[in-house]
Amino acid sequence: MARLEAILKRFREIYPGSAAPRAWRAPGRVNLIGEHTDYNLGLVMPMAIQLECVVTAAPSSSGLLRVYSEELASSAEWPVANIGELRRRGDWSDRVAGVAWELSRRGATIAAQDLLISSTVPLGGGLSSSAALGVAVMLALGGPRDPLELAQLARAAETGFVGVPVGIMDQFVAARGRAGAAILLDCGSLEFREVRLPEGIAIVAANSMVRHELGGSAYRRRVEECAEAARVLGVKCLREAAASRLSELAGAPLLRARHVITENARVEEFAAAAERGDVEKMGITLIESHRSLRDDYQVSCAELDFLVETALSVPGVLGARMTGGGFGGSTVNLLRKEAVPALESALLEKYPEKFGWRPEIHVCIASDGASQLL
């Protein structure tokens, strides 16, 4: 693998004279459907993709945990003697510190070592660069090999240290994705199954290349509004709320709950349609999901709406919607394979005309979850 060779060469340049390194990878993901349902213990259907984060690591005698990010050209270090007392710095390095902190909180000893992060998952692109990083670092620092435990610990690092109240979807699929399949996961019971997509269709992610500032605070706000809706309805989480009770809600909790309840139903419809090869129905479900995210959950933005509308005007495109947290990031498109070039040219032509910059297009390949490379 030429990329791994290049990464090892960089490792030796950045950490000259270090011991022989080992390497792990974890993939990014595109969520096909089931958006903002994971922290409501609902259903999601993500797919691990070929874009991935590689973490290379070698033991050192420095007494430090050192890390260098190739994409950000930035480094950070912490004395391993007091990992338990680490505090958030408010930058990318929190994702590494958080993993070390979570492991040490659970009784693991973090050895002094040097880490190199090299990722092809676009940062802030809605394709889960953070979970890919968290899961790969978790493996590099000696975390659990069992995919579920791995995902749970990586998520705990994100919620407990980095402080974002995320659900388990991204870490789970980064740990347990499967080549050739999407993963239908019940975030309440953690039961899952692999769903193969019908022959002849392609999944394409289009990165808007924007990340609106609102993202972080709005995510938190949505989590709170869902909790508020659940409280009013007297249920533990929105997964347990029935559509017939929506009339008891008003304002933001009503809109948020309506999205979550209908989205859970759409995941089931989408998975069933995929299993019987009904690609038209799959597409319609994606379109409905986008509408619900735009109008009820209110996490879309002009760039994502435009990417979706433009995609839907291309013959052979069956459905499109925003994917991930929203407020920028990417859309996911479901289309007939032969329509890929037409979709690419439509997006690459029309989006820059409107916004002034190019989107990034990725034809997604369903890939395996995290693994050791070396």
Residues carrying an active site annotation: 170
Is the CB of residue 166 less than 8 Å from the CB of residue 153?
no
- Residue 357 phi/psi, 5° resolution? -140, 160
3 state DSSP class of 86: coil
Asked if residue 177 binds ligand GLA (CB under 6 A), the reply is: no
DSSP secondary structure letter of residue 370? -
Q: Name the minimum Å distance from CB 104 to ligand GLA.
A: 23
Of the candidates 286, 99, 282, 85, the one whose C-alpha atom is nearest the C-alpha of residue 200 is 282
Kindly provide the b/e burial profile for residues 97-128, where b requires at least 16 CB atoms within 10 angstroms of the residue's own CB: bbbbbbbbeeebebebbbbbbbbbbbebbbbb
Q: What is the total count of residues that contact ligand GLA (CB under 6 A)?
A: 11
261 near ligand GLA, judged by CB under 6 A = no
The angle formed by the CA atoms of residues 77, 81 and 86, to the nearest 5 degrees, is: 60
Letters for 17-36 (x = contact with ligand GLA by CB under 6 A, - = none) are: ------------------xx
Nearest Cα residue to 25 out of 120, 95, 159: 120
Output 40 or 333, the one with its CB closest to ligand GLA.
40
By CB under 6 A, tell whether 78 contacts ligand GLA: no
Residues 186-245 that bind ligand GLA (CB under 6 A): none
CB 75 within 8 A of CB 66: yes
- 369 burial via Cβ count (<10 Å: 0-12, 13-18, 19+): buried
Q: Is 170 in the site for ligand GLA (CB under 6 A)?
A: yes
Whole-angstrom Cα distance, residue 69 to residue 130? 13
Check binding of 38 to ligand GLA (CB under 6 A). yes
Residue closer to ligand GLA, measured from CB, 39 or 161: 39
Per CB under 6 A, does 303 bind ligand GLA? no
Q: Could you tell me the smallest distance in angstroms from the CB atom of residue 301 to ligand GLA?
A: 14
Q: Is residue 169 a contact point for ligand GLA (CB under 6 A)?
A: yes
Binding mask 84-123 for ligand GLA (x = CB under 6 A): ----------------------------------------
Task: Report how far apart, in Å, the C-alpha atoms of 78 and of each of 64, 75, 136, 252, 311 are.
Answer: 6, 11, 19, 42, 46
* Tokens read off for 76: 């950070």
Measured from the CB atom, is 66 or 259 closer to ligand GLA?
259
Please, which residue, 77 or 170, has the CB nearer to ligand GLA? 170
Q: Which residue, 35 or 296, is less far from ligand GLA as judged by CB?
A: 35
For ligand GLA, what does the binding mask look like between residues 128 and 147, x meaning CB under 6 A? x-------------------
Selected range binding ligand GLA among 165-173, 175-183, 250-258, 336-344, rule: CB under 6 A: 165-173
Beta carbon of residue 237, minimum distance to ligand GLA (angstroms, whole number): 13
How far apart CA 6 and CA 14 sit, in angstroms, is: 12
Nearer to ligand GLA, 77 or 296 (CB): 296
If binding is defined by CB under 6 A, does position 167 make contact with ligand GLA? yes
Residue nearer to ligand GLA on the CB measure, 21 or 253: 253
Gap between the Cα atoms of 78 and 66, Å rounded: 7
Residue 169 CB, shortest distance to ligand GLA, in Å, is 5
**Burial grade of 131 (CB within 10 A; 0-12, 13-18, 19 or more):** buried
Name which position in 15, 39, 68, 297 contacts ligand GLA (CB under 6 A). 39
**Minimal distance in Å, beta carbon 108 to ligand GLA?**
24
Dist. CA 356–CA 351, nearest whole Å: 7
User: Shortest approach of ligand GLA to residue 170 CB, angstroms?
Assistant: 5
Tokens coding 118: 């090299």
Between CA 280 and CA 318 the distance in angstroms is 6
Binds ligand GLA (CB under 6 A): choice among 134, 215, 283, 325: 325
Interface with ligand GLA includes 324 (CB under 6 A)?
Answer: yes
Summarize as ranges the residues that interact with ligand GLA (CB under 6 A): 35-36, 38-39, 128, 166-167, 169-170, 324-325
